[in-house]
Protein backbone atom coordinates (compact mmCIF):
# COMPACT_ATOMS: atom_id res chain seq x y z
CA UNK A 1 0.00 0.00 0.00
CA UNK A 2 1.41 3.39 -0.92
CA UNK A 3 1.93 5.93 1.86
CA UNK A 4 -0.25 9.05 1.59
CA UNK A 5 1.59 12.21 0.59
CA UNK A 6 0.79 13.89 3.95
CA UNK A 7 2.24 10.94 5.86
CA UNK A 8 5.44 11.08 3.79
CA UNK A 9 5.87 14.78 4.57
CA UNK A 10 5.20 14.21 8.25
CA UNK A 11 7.77 11.42 8.44
CA UNK A 12 10.39 13.79 6.99
CA UNK A 13 9.88 16.36 9.77
CA UNK A 14 12.41 16.93 12.52
CA UNK A 15 10.35 16.80 15.72
CA UNK A 16 9.65 14.69 18.79
CA UNK A 17 7.28 12.42 16.86
CA UNK A 18 10.03 11.37 14.41
CA UNK A 19 13.06 11.15 16.72
CA UNK A 20 12.59 7.49 17.66
CA UNK A 21 12.30 8.31 21.36
CA UNK A 22 10.23 5.15 21.95
CA UNK A 23 9.71 5.67 25.70
CA UNK A 24 7.71 3.37 27.93
CA UNK A 25 4.72 4.81 29.76
CA UNK A 26 6.60 4.76 33.08
CA UNK A 27 9.52 6.60 31.45
CA UNK A 28 7.12 9.26 30.15
CA UNK A 29 5.79 9.84 33.65
CA UNK A 30 9.33 10.12 35.06
CA UNK A 31 10.39 12.65 32.41
CA UNK A 32 7.17 14.62 32.86
CA UNK A 33 7.88 14.95 36.58
CA UNK A 34 11.52 15.90 35.96
CA UNK A 35 10.45 18.66 33.57
CA UNK A 36 8.01 20.01 36.13
CA UNK A 37 10.81 20.14 38.72
CA UNK A 38 12.98 22.36 36.51
CA UNK A 39 10.71 25.35 37.05
CA UNK A 40 10.25 28.22 34.64
CA UNK A 41 12.73 30.70 36.10
CA UNK A 42 15.83 28.53 36.36
CA UNK A 43 15.17 26.76 33.06
CA UNK A 44 14.45 30.00 31.19
CA UNK A 45 16.84 29.50 28.28
CA UNK A 46 15.35 26.06 27.63
CA UNK A 47 11.72 26.99 28.26
CA UNK A 48 10.59 26.41 24.67
CA UNK A 49 12.32 23.02 24.62
CA UNK A 50 10.79 22.11 27.98
CA UNK A 51 7.26 22.95 26.81
CA UNK A 52 7.75 21.16 23.49
CA UNK A 53 8.80 17.94 25.24
CA UNK A 54 5.99 18.30 27.78
CA UNK A 55 3.52 18.64 24.92
CA UNK A 56 4.82 15.47 23.29
CA UNK A 57 4.71 13.57 26.59
CA UNK A 58 1.15 14.64 27.35
CA UNK A 59 0.09 13.59 23.86
CA UNK A 60 1.69 10.17 24.29
CA UNK A 61 -0.07 9.81 27.64
CA UNK A 62 -3.42 10.59 26.02
CA UNK A 63 -3.89 14.20 27.19
CA UNK A 64 -4.45 15.90 23.81
CA UNK A 65 -5.74 19.19 25.23
CA UNK A 66 -2.70 19.48 27.53
CA UNK A 67 -0.46 18.72 24.54
CA UNK A 68 -2.02 21.57 22.55
CA UNK A 69 -1.53 23.92 25.49
CA UNK A 70 2.14 23.06 25.91
CA UNK A 71 2.90 23.32 22.20
CA UNK A 72 1.34 26.81 22.23
CA UNK A 73 3.39 27.73 25.31
CA UNK A 74 6.52 26.46 23.58
CA UNK A 75 5.96 28.70 20.55
CA UNK A 76 5.40 31.72 22.78
CA UNK A 77 8.39 30.89 25.00
CA UNK A 78 10.71 30.69 21.98
CA UNK A 79 9.53 34.13 20.85
CA UNK A 80 10.12 35.61 24.31
CA UNK A 81 13.46 33.93 24.99
CA UNK A 82 14.92 34.77 21.57
CA UNK A 83 13.82 38.40 21.95
CA UNK A 84 14.16 39.07 18.23
CA UNK A 85 12.45 41.55 15.97
CA UNK A 86 10.74 38.76 14.04
CA UNK A 87 8.22 36.45 15.70
CA UNK A 88 9.42 33.63 13.45
CA UNK A 89 12.75 31.84 13.37
CA UNK A 90 14.42 28.45 12.86
CA UNK A 91 13.85 27.61 16.53
CA UNK A 92 10.15 27.08 15.66
CA UNK A 93 10.79 24.29 13.14
CA UNK A 94 10.44 21.53 15.75
CA UNK A 95 7.41 23.17 17.35
CA UNK A 96 5.49 23.43 14.08
CA UNK A 97 6.51 19.85 13.29
CA UNK A 98 5.05 18.69 16.60
CA UNK A 99 1.84 20.60 15.92
CA UNK A 100 1.59 19.11 12.42
CA UNK A 101 1.77 15.62 13.91
CA UNK A 102 -0.77 16.39 16.62
CA UNK A 103 -3.27 17.73 14.10
CA UNK A 104 -2.67 14.74 11.82
CA UNK A 105 -3.20 12.24 14.62
CA UNK A 106 -6.45 14.03 15.51
CA UNK A 107 -7.69 13.94 11.94
CA UNK A 108 -7.28 17.71 11.49
CA UNK A 109 -5.60 17.52 8.11
CA UNK A 110 -6.09 21.16 7.04
CA UNK A 111 -4.39 22.40 10.23
CA UNK A 112 -1.65 19.78 9.80
CA UNK A 113 -0.94 20.95 6.23
CA UNK A 114 -0.81 24.58 7.46
CA UNK A 115 1.90 23.63 9.96
CA UNK A 116 3.79 21.73 7.27
CA UNK A 117 3.74 24.87 5.13
CA UNK A 118 5.15 26.90 8.03
CA UNK A 119 7.99 24.40 8.45
CA UNK A 120 8.79 24.57 4.73
CA UNK A 121 8.75 28.39 4.82
CA UNK A 122 11.08 28.52 7.84
CA UNK A 123 13.52 26.06 6.29
CA UNK A 124 13.54 28.10 3.09
CA UNK A 125 14.04 31.43 4.86
CA UNK A 126 16.57 30.12 7.42
CA UNK A 127 18.66 27.43 5.67
CA UNK A 128 21.30 25.58 7.64
CA UNK A 129 24.76 27.21 7.50
CA UNK A 130 26.19 23.83 6.60
CA UNK A 131 24.99 21.89 3.58
CA UNK A 132 23.50 18.45 4.33
CA UNK A 133 23.20 19.32 8.02
CA UNK A 134 20.18 20.14 10.14
CA UNK A 135 19.90 23.75 11.25
CA UNK A 136 21.90 24.26 14.47
CA UNK A 137 18.70 25.22 16.33
CA UNK A 138 17.19 21.85 15.37
CA UNK A 139 20.37 19.99 16.33
CA UNK A 140 20.32 21.72 19.72
CA UNK A 141 16.69 20.93 20.48
CA UNK A 142 17.08 17.35 19.39
CA UNK A 143 20.17 17.06 21.57
CA UNK A 144 18.46 18.60 24.61
CA UNK A 145 15.55 16.19 24.20
CA UNK A 146 17.71 13.08 23.77
CA UNK A 147 19.54 13.94 27.00
CA UNK A 148 16.38 13.03 28.92
CA UNK A 149 16.40 9.43 27.71
CA UNK A 150 18.83 6.48 27.70
CA UNK A 151 22.63 6.49 27.90
CA UNK A 152 22.81 5.64 24.21
CA UNK A 153 20.62 8.65 23.42
CA UNK A 154 22.80 10.86 25.66
CA UNK A 155 25.81 9.91 23.52
CA UNK A 156 23.78 10.81 20.44
CA UNK A 157 22.80 14.08 22.15
CA UNK A 158 26.46 14.98 22.65
CA UNK A 159 27.02 14.47 18.92
CA UNK A 160 24.08 16.72 17.99
CA UNK A 161 25.28 19.45 20.36
CA UNK A 162 28.73 19.23 18.81
CA UNK A 163 27.25 19.67 15.34
CA UNK A 164 25.21 22.68 16.48
CA UNK A 165 28.24 24.27 18.15
CA UNK A 166 30.39 23.73 15.08
CA UNK A 167 27.99 25.89 13.06
CA UNK A 168 27.10 28.37 15.81
CA UNK A 169 29.89 28.40 18.41
CA UNK A 170 28.80 31.43 20.43
CA UNK A 171 25.79 29.87 22.24
CA UNK A 172 27.03 29.24 25.78
CA UNK A 173 24.14 27.03 26.92
CA UNK A 174 24.80 24.64 24.03
CA UNK A 175 28.44 24.32 25.04
CA UNK A 176 27.45 23.67 28.66
CA UNK A 177 24.82 21.10 27.74
CA UNK A 178 27.24 19.33 25.39
CA UNK A 179 29.61 18.81 28.31
CA UNK A 180 26.76 17.76 30.64
CA UNK A 181 25.64 15.16 28.10
CA UNK A 182 29.16 13.71 27.99
CA UNK A 183 29.50 13.79 31.78
CA UNK A 184 26.14 12.08 32.31
CA UNK A 185 27.15 9.24 30.02
CA UNK A 186 30.06 8.40 32.34
CA UNK A 187 28.68 9.55 35.70
CA UNK A 188 29.12 6.13 37.35
CA UNK A 189 32.89 6.04 36.80
CA UNK A 190 35.90 8.35 36.80
CA UNK A 191 35.62 10.83 33.95
CA UNK A 192 38.21 10.73 31.21
CA UNK A 193 40.76 13.55 31.43
CA UNK A 194 39.49 15.13 28.21
CA UNK A 195 35.89 15.31 29.48
CA UNK A 196 37.05 16.76 32.81
CA UNK A 197 39.01 19.42 30.93
CA UNK A 198 35.95 20.23 28.80
CA UNK A 199 33.91 20.62 31.99
CA UNK A 200 36.50 23.02 33.38
CA UNK A 201 36.44 25.13 30.21
CA UNK A 202 32.63 25.13 30.07
CA UNK A 203 32.50 26.17 33.74
CA UNK A 204 34.65 29.17 32.89
CA UNK A 205 32.37 30.14 30.00
CA UNK A 206 29.17 29.62 32.03
CA UNK A 207 30.05 30.62 35.62
CA UNK A 208 26.40 30.98 36.70
CA UNK A 209 25.57 27.35 35.90
CA UNK A 210 25.91 25.92 39.39
CA UNK A 211 24.64 22.51 38.34
CA UNK A 212 27.71 22.19 36.11
CA UNK A 213 29.91 23.55 38.91
CA UNK A 214 28.63 20.89 41.33
CA UNK A 215 29.18 18.08 38.83
CA UNK A 216 32.69 19.36 38.11
CA UNK A 217 33.58 19.39 41.82
CA UNK A 218 32.15 15.89 42.20
CA UNK A 219 34.30 14.66 39.31
CA UNK A 220 37.37 16.29 40.85
CA UNK A 221 36.63 14.69 44.22
CA UNK A 222 36.17 11.29 42.58
CA UNK A 223 39.63 11.76 41.12
CA UNK A 224 41.13 12.32 44.58
CA UNK A 225 41.19 16.11 44.82
CA UNK A 226 40.33 17.92 48.06
CA UNK A 227 37.21 19.98 47.40
CA UNK A 228 35.69 20.71 50.84
CA UNK A 229 36.29 24.49 50.85
CA UNK A 230 35.11 24.88 47.25
CA UNK A 231 32.01 22.80 48.02
CA UNK A 232 31.08 25.02 50.96
CA UNK A 233 31.57 28.14 48.85
CA UNK A 234 29.40 26.64 46.13
CA UNK A 235 26.70 25.77 48.66
CA UNK A 236 26.38 29.43 49.63
CA UNK A 237 25.75 30.31 45.98
CA UNK A 238 23.30 27.46 45.36
CA UNK A 239 21.22 28.46 48.37
CA UNK A 240 20.55 31.82 46.75
CA UNK A 241 19.22 30.27 43.53
CA UNK A 242 15.53 29.61 42.83
CA UNK A 243 14.43 26.09 43.78
CA UNK A 244 14.89 23.92 40.71
CA UNK A 245 16.43 20.67 39.55
CA UNK A 246 18.72 22.92 37.47
CA UNK A 247 19.98 24.84 40.51
CA UNK A 248 22.62 22.27 41.45
CA UNK A 249 21.19 21.36 44.85
CA UNK A 250 20.92 17.61 44.18
CA UNK A 251 24.51 17.04 42.94
CA UNK A 252 25.71 19.38 45.70
CA UNK A 253 24.01 17.31 48.41
CA UNK A 254 25.42 14.14 46.83
CA UNK A 255 28.88 15.75 46.80
CA UNK A 256 28.58 16.64 50.51
CA UNK A 257 27.31 13.17 51.36
CA UNK A 258 30.21 11.30 49.78
CA UNK A 259 33.17 13.70 49.88
CA UNK A 260 32.61 16.35 52.55
CA UNK A 261 30.57 15.24 55.57
CA UNK A 262 27.40 13.20 55.91
CA UNK A 263 26.24 15.31 58.86
CA UNK A 264 26.92 18.54 56.95
CA UNK A 265 24.99 17.11 53.99
CA UNK A 266 21.93 16.56 56.18
CA UNK A 267 22.26 20.00 57.77
CA UNK A 268 22.51 21.58 54.32
CA UNK A 269 19.53 19.66 52.96
CA UNK A 270 17.35 20.35 55.99
CA UNK A 271 18.33 24.02 55.93
CA UNK A 272 17.22 24.42 52.32
CA UNK A 273 13.95 22.59 52.98
CA UNK A 274 13.26 24.77 56.02
CA UNK A 275 13.44 27.82 53.75
CA UNK A 276 11.17 26.21 51.11
CA UNK A 277 9.00 23.70 53.01
CA UNK A 278 6.45 23.18 50.22
CA UNK A 279 8.86 22.34 47.38
CA UNK A 280 8.44 18.68 46.45
CA UNK A 281 11.79 18.54 44.68
CA UNK A 282 13.61 19.60 47.84
CA UNK A 283 11.71 17.06 49.94
CA UNK A 284 12.85 14.44 47.47
CA UNK A 285 16.49 15.59 47.72
CA UNK A 286 16.41 15.55 51.53
CA UNK A 287 14.83 12.08 51.53
CA UNK A 288 17.64 10.80 49.29
CA UNK A 289 20.19 12.36 51.64
CA UNK A 290 18.78 10.48 54.64
CA UNK A 291 18.58 7.26 52.64
CA UNK A 292 22.27 7.52 51.76
CA UNK A 293 23.12 8.28 55.40
CA UNK A 294 21.28 5.14 56.48
CA UNK A 295 22.49 2.80 53.74
CA UNK A 296 26.13 3.91 53.96
CA UNK A 297 26.21 3.53 57.75
CA UNK A 298 28.77 0.89 58.70
CA UNK A 299 30.03 1.65 62.20
CA UNK A 300 27.49 2.84 64.76
CA UNK A 301 23.90 1.73 65.40
CA UNK A 302 21.37 3.86 63.53
CA UNK A 303 19.57 6.49 65.53
CA UNK A 304 15.82 5.88 65.66
CA UNK A 305 15.17 9.57 65.03
CA UNK A 306 17.13 9.46 61.76
CA UNK A 307 15.27 6.40 60.48
CA UNK A 308 11.95 7.95 61.52
CA UNK A 309 12.80 11.18 59.69
CA UNK A 310 13.73 9.29 56.53
CA UNK A 311 10.50 7.28 56.64
CA UNK A 312 8.45 10.43 57.24
CA UNK A 313 10.04 12.17 54.26
CA UNK A 314 9.49 9.26 51.89
CA UNK A 315 5.88 8.94 53.01
CA UNK A 316 5.45 12.62 52.10
CA UNK A 317 7.34 12.46 48.81
CA UNK A 318 5.75 9.34 47.29
CA UNK A 319 2.24 10.88 46.92
CA UNK A 320 3.81 14.00 45.37
CA UNK A 321 5.07 11.83 42.48
CA UNK A 322 2.12 9.42 42.16
CA UNK A 323 3.01 8.16 38.67
CA UNK A 324 6.78 7.85 39.01
CA UNK A 325 7.53 6.62 42.54
CA UNK A 326 8.72 3.04 42.08
CA UNK A 327 12.30 3.88 43.05
CA UNK A 328 11.11 5.87 46.06
CA UNK A 329 8.85 3.02 47.18
CA UNK A 330 11.79 0.62 46.97
CA UNK A 331 13.86 3.09 49.00
CA UNK A 332 11.15 3.29 51.67
CA UNK A 333 10.91 -0.50 51.88
CA UNK A 334 14.71 -0.69 52.21
CA UNK A 335 14.69 1.88 55.01
CA UNK A 336 11.89 -0.02 56.78
CA UNK A 337 14.15 -3.06 56.66
CA UNK A 338 16.92 -1.15 58.45
CA UNK A 339 14.61 -0.54 61.41
CA UNK A 340 14.34 -3.49 63.79
CA UNK A 341 10.65 -2.89 64.55
CA UNK A 342 9.54 -2.34 60.93
CA UNK A 343 10.56 -5.60 59.29
CA UNK A 344 6.94 -6.59 58.68
CA UNK A 345 6.29 -3.27 56.92
CA UNK A 346 9.34 -3.84 54.70
CA UNK A 347 8.19 -7.32 53.68
CA UNK A 348 4.65 -6.12 53.04
CA UNK A 349 5.85 -3.27 50.84
CA UNK A 350 8.26 -5.45 48.86
CA UNK A 351 5.50 -8.02 48.47
CA UNK A 352 3.07 -5.45 47.06
CA UNK A 353 5.71 -4.16 44.65
CA UNK A 354 6.56 -7.67 43.45
CA UNK A 355 2.89 -8.24 42.61
CA UNK A 356 2.54 -4.93 40.74
CA UNK A 357 2.56 -4.51 36.97
CA UNK A 358 6.01 -3.18 36.00
CA UNK A 359 7.78 -2.51 32.73
CA UNK A 360 11.03 -4.45 32.08
CA UNK A 361 13.41 -1.84 33.51
CA UNK A 362 11.19 -1.31 36.54
CA UNK A 363 11.14 -5.05 37.17
CA UNK A 364 14.94 -5.21 36.84
CA UNK A 365 15.35 -2.45 39.42
CA UNK A 366 12.93 -4.11 41.85
CA UNK A 367 14.43 -7.60 41.50
CA UNK A 368 17.98 -6.27 41.90
CA UNK A 369 17.12 -4.25 45.03
CA UNK A 370 15.02 -7.04 46.53
CA UNK A 371 17.87 -9.50 45.94
CA UNK A 372 20.18 -7.24 47.96
CA UNK A 373 17.57 -6.93 50.69
CA UNK A 374 17.30 -10.73 50.87
CA UNK A 375 21.10 -11.08 51.05
CA UNK A 376 22.05 -8.31 53.48
CA UNK A 377 18.97 -8.06 55.70
CA UNK A 378 17.20 -11.40 55.51
CA UNK A 379 20.41 -13.47 55.08
CA UNK A 380 18.63 -15.60 52.46
CA UNK A 381 21.41 -16.30 49.97
CA UNK A 382 19.46 -18.78 47.85
CA UNK A 383 16.46 -16.50 47.26
CA UNK A 384 18.77 -13.53 46.72
CA UNK A 385 20.51 -15.36 43.87
CA UNK A 386 17.16 -16.31 42.37
CA UNK A 387 16.10 -12.65 42.20
CA UNK A 388 19.43 -11.56 40.73
CA UNK A 389 18.83 -14.19 38.06
CA UNK A 390 15.33 -12.85 37.46
CA UNK A 391 16.75 -9.33 37.01
CA UNK A 392 19.46 -10.59 34.65
CA UNK A 393 17.01 -12.71 32.64
CA UNK A 394 15.08 -9.67 31.41
CA UNK A 395 16.73 -8.93 28.02
CA UNK A 396 16.99 -5.17 28.33
CA UNK A 397 20.15 -3.19 29.05
CA UNK A 398 20.16 -1.32 32.36
CA UNK A 399 22.51 -0.58 35.26
CA UNK A 400 20.46 -2.86 37.51
CA UNK A 401 20.73 -5.79 35.10
CA UNK A 402 24.48 -5.20 34.70
CA UNK A 403 24.85 -5.12 38.49
CA UNK A 404 22.96 -8.38 38.98
CA UNK A 405 25.06 -10.07 36.28
CA UNK A 406 28.27 -8.84 37.97
CA UNK A 407 27.13 -10.17 41.35
CA UNK A 408 26.26 -13.56 39.86
CA UNK A 409 29.65 -13.71 38.12
CA UNK A 410 31.46 -12.98 41.42
CA UNK A 411 29.51 -15.71 43.21
CA UNK A 412 30.37 -18.19 40.46
CA UNK A 413 34.06 -17.24 40.50
CA UNK A 414 34.34 -17.66 44.29
CA UNK A 415 32.83 -21.14 43.90
CA UNK A 416 31.62 -21.30 47.52
CA UNK A 417 27.88 -21.40 46.98
CA UNK A 418 25.92 -24.58 46.34
CA UNK A 419 24.18 -22.78 43.45
CA UNK A 420 27.42 -22.12 41.55
CA UNK A 421 26.70 -24.83 38.98
CA UNK A 422 23.21 -23.45 38.35
CA UNK A 423 24.60 -19.90 38.14
CA UNK A 424 27.28 -20.97 35.67
CA UNK A 425 24.72 -22.65 33.44
CA UNK A 426 22.42 -19.61 33.67
CA UNK A 427 25.21 -17.17 32.73
CA UNK A 428 26.36 -19.39 29.86
CA UNK A 429 22.88 -19.23 28.33
CA UNK A 430 22.40 -15.52 29.04
CA UNK A 431 22.47 -13.19 26.06
CA UNK A 432 24.28 -10.04 27.14
- The domains located in the chain, with CATH, are 5-127 (1.25.40.10), 261-354 (1.25.40), 358-432 (no CATH)
pLDDT at 179: 95
pLDDT at 7: 57
pLDDT category, 85, cuts 50, 70, 90? Answer: low
Instruction: Give the span between the Cα atoms of 94 and 90, in whole angstroms.
Output: 8
Q: What is the pTM of this model?
A: 0.92
Instruction: Give the span between the Cα atoms of 394 and 398, in whole angstroms.
Output: 10
Alpha helices in 169-303 (DSSP H): 172-185, 193-205, 210-222, 228-238, 249-255, 262-275, 280-295
Q: How far is CA 71 from CA 16, 58, 308, in A?
A: 11, 10, 43
Q: What is the pLDDT of residues 329-365, one digit of tens each?
A: 999 999 999 887 899 999 999 999 999 999 999 999 9
Angle (CA) 64 69 73, round 5°: 145
Q: What are phi and psi of 431, to 5 degrees?
A: -95, 110
CB 186 within 8 A of CB 192: yes
Task: Assess whether pLDDT exceeds 70 at residue 8.
Answer: no
CB 40 within 8 A of CB 246: no
Burial class (CB in 10 A: 0-12, 13-18, 19+), 131: exposed
Amino acid sequence: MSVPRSETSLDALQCHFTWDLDPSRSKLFRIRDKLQDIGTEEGYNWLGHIYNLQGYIHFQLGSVDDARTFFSRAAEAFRQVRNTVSDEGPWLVVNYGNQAWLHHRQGEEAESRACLSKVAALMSEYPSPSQDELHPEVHAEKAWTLMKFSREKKLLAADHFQRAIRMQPDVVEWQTSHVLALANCFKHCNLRADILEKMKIAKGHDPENLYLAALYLEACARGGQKIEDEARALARRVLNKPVSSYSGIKPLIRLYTVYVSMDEAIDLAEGVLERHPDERYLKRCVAICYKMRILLNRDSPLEHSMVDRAISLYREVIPLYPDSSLKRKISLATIYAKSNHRQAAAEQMFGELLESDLDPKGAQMLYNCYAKHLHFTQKESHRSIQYHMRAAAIPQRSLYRDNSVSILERIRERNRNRMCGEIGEFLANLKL
